[in-house]
Structure 1
Amino acid sequence: MNYPEFRPPAERAAVIDLAAIRHNVRHLAHVVSPARVMAVVKADAYGHGAVETARAAVEAGAAWLGVAHISEALALRAAGVTEPVLAWLHTRNAEFGEAIRANVDLGVSGWDLDAVVAAARELEMPARVHLKIDTGLGRNGCPEDLWEAFVGRALAYQEEGLLRVVGIFSHFAVADEPHRPETDEQLRKFREAVAVAEDAGVDREVRHIANTPGALSRPDAHFDLVRIGLGMYGLSPFAGQTSAELGLRPAMSLKTTIAACKEVPAGQGVSYGLHYRTKEPTTLALIPLGYADGIPRVATGAPVQVDGQTYPVVGRIAMDQMVIDLHRTGIAGTADSFEGREVVLFGGEGQPSVDEWASAAGSINYEIITRISGRVQRVYVDSAADDDASAPPIALEAAPGAQDAEGEQAQAVQAK
């Protein structure tokens, strides 16, 4: 007799709502239409699970997938994902041949062009490449003064049948601060670079520079394709604006249960360094998540929700655990004890937010979700709240001077 597999409840879980991911992709696709969407699933989809997230994003209309490393792209291919995938960050040990064989597009901006061509020559199979221009971020990307020659080299290789120039792209530096003028300058440089490439004979399929903040605040930057990362996971890239104000739903909720409760007297020190001492007799609750699970060690004071009530973390966060002060007595060891009750560190509506944890850690919401470690089980759900596929777009007011691709003043809807 075959028995169903027994799967105990997760002790620690990052609960991923695939309906939220689909909602966010559809919403952002509406915002950037007629441009298409590239769903960025690098870093295991910002901790959400690359394969599951990629499939949900494609179901919602994402036309492309984006990763940093070739190994991430190959893992998608191994899982049966067939949509176009772009990988753009390479080292000398990158598996260019395997990428070409798996039909993975490659971002190139310097030495990597020749390395990709060498692999293509050996395989006798052309590579698909996106040429990257550095418009101001100062990381990878071809410098402006070398761009014309770089494009010429790529076209020469294309004439040999060793590659196909599929796209031209760049990366914004300050689009999450919509009123900074550097974005205008980056767009000017990008348009000039595209013009140089097209004049030289590049017949590209896609131009892309906008990330999530660019998608929401710079309609003039949408071009043919927009790369959405943080927004797909339902988080806001803008200081002072919430996910809900942007029409997004957080997809990850981080949960566990209380491991133990203990009655302590006034003056009890808590955790390493004893930087917190109880002011009166109280009950301390032990939360079995710590920095080995990706929780920032410095995030003392961050919110933890139990039974709908929020408590700050007290004392130093340790490798495997943290403590909250319940500010009541007479419950440990009784029928009303808190052992086993669900704990939510962050999540969606009505729960503490990732942004609150980022603030407590002196960091950003990107880092909080991405660093949740593999020790925390990913649990996938599909909520029934996926019912507003046609929600109207919500975006920031366009930055002053923002121009669309034809040079007309861009318009956007002010988020409420």
Structure 2
Amino acid sequence: MCSVSCCASRVSFSRLEDFESLAQKRLPKDVWEYYGYPSCSGFTLQENKRAFQRYRLLPRVLRDVSSVDTTATVLGSRLDMPVALSPTAHHSLAHPDGEKATAKGAASANTAYVVSSFANHSLEDIAQAAPGGVRWFYLIPQNDPSRTKELLRRAESAGYSGIWLTVDQPRFQFQQRPESKMESAAGVMRLPNLTFEDVRGDASSQEFTTYLSDNVKQPITWEDVIWLRKNTQLKIVLKGILTAEDAEEAVRVGVDGICVSNHGGRQLDGVPATIDALPEVVRAVDGKAEVYLDGGVRTGTDVLKALALGARCVFIGRPALWGLACNGAEGVHQVLEVLKDQLNLAMAQAGCTQMSDIKPSLVVHESYYLHGHHCHTGTCNN
């Protein structure tokens, strides 16, 4: 397992929990709580992490694992690892360079970054900061279709190769935005990927909040996905699907990818952990689109379990923010390298030398042992 150094203290870190602990010490209390707050009781947030522990790995032994290849092709791009960065908001609360630093960190690890519409830097500036990086854009549709088209044009012109839609957020709680009381590490907080010529000023202002409430399209529906498919040549990923029925509909309307996600436990509390929902979605998609997962991934073995259950790639949100708070672009890179090295070791210990070796038979639910049920890959009676 790797040992990396983080921040001015040059502490060697080999676990994401170490980044989390230091980030909590370095970030203002209100920023830390904003990044970490869950919906309602926080059940889903905690369940995302607990659920990984309920799956057991069944390693194959006496195989030549002297060389392990963690590379993967995701949405047409070759990445050094099947771990990439989810869209998260307001990176300038953690570091003055905000999303520009995050993009640099992802690019230096040769993996992908989904840039949020709630980024504090523009699509163009983020692209310029990491010109060789793989970037996708999480789009917030506008009530005015011409403005949505303008955002698509900007993403295409700046070299973004995919569009993501978050589908599990039918209502934005603009009037209750906790970040509105915070001060950006870079000074004035802006949202240039939601801003058009008729709005100026700090994104934390009441004027801007009213502007968002009046202009952001909510809720979006399947008709919006169909419209998007007709208005862009970029690949489309829907983030936030948890059921077979919605996965089948996504395939029907022609999306390229589905991210099994519950918004990091920040939306509807009490929904399934993403690792539990993953097998059903994979079966429903039946190879007609790529399937990803985010939520609760904290170790290389978590990544391995998700891959075995059918995910092509996993995405991390909060851990990238921890790395950013610790050490800017280098901190993001270090977080990714920890997961890559942990995955490399886990694959070797499981008898896998490449992605194609990671099969569903590698994972079994704990109920197989606790209750004697034959429960491979989530098909158990528990």
Q: One fold, TM greater than 0.5?
A: no
**Which TM-score applies when normalising by structure 2?**
0.39
Query: Which structure has the larger Rg?
Result: 1
Kindly indicate which of the two structures has a greater share of residues assigned to strand. 1
**Which TM-score applies when normalising by structure 1?**
0.36
